[in-house]
Copies of this chain bind each other. A is one copy, B any other.
Amino acid sequence: MGATKTDHFTDRQNSIATMIKALGHPARIAIIEYLIKVDTCICGDIVNELPLAQPTISQHLKELKNAGLIKGSIEGNSICYCIDKKAIEKLQDYFGNISLKLEKKNC
């Protein structure tokens, strides 16, 4: 095996898991945190910031983009990346809702 059985879970569960999974790597956390700091930047900036090779950064950016966490707009030669606020809000809502539901419960 090795393949996640996505067909056995709801679309919503798969969708939120995909989004969360994209953030479940320190390099991608670091990219997001760097983007928070600088607002927008190009791939090369991140390559200079993090100890990973350019293709690796490019791959991580692709994953973040596929998950909807960042947006990239072509700016002549380079691509200007930034965080998609809506995605972060979605995650915030998800965990906020869980917290709310847990308040009433005890364990």
- Chain A residues within 8 Å of B, Cβ to Cβ: 4-6, 8-9, 13-14, 16-18, 20-30, 32-33, 36, 39-40, 50-52, 71, 82-83, 85, 88-89, 91-92, 95-96, 98-99, 101-102, 105-107
Given contact pairs A25-B17, A95-B95, A99-B92, A8 touches B51 in the complex (Cβ within 8 A) = yes
Interface of chain A, helix or strand or loop or mixed?
A: helix
> Is there contact, CB below 8 Å, between A98 and B107?
no
A18 CB contacts on chain B under 8 angstroms: 24
Interchain CA distance A102-B87 in the complex, whole Å: 12
The residue from B21, B40, B71 contacting A25, defined by CB atoms under 8 A apart: B21
The residue from B6, B8, B40 contacting A107, defined by CB atoms under 8 A apart: B40
A14 CB contacts on chain B under 8 angstroms: 26
The residue from B6, B13, B33 contacting A13, defined by CB atoms under 8 A apart: B33
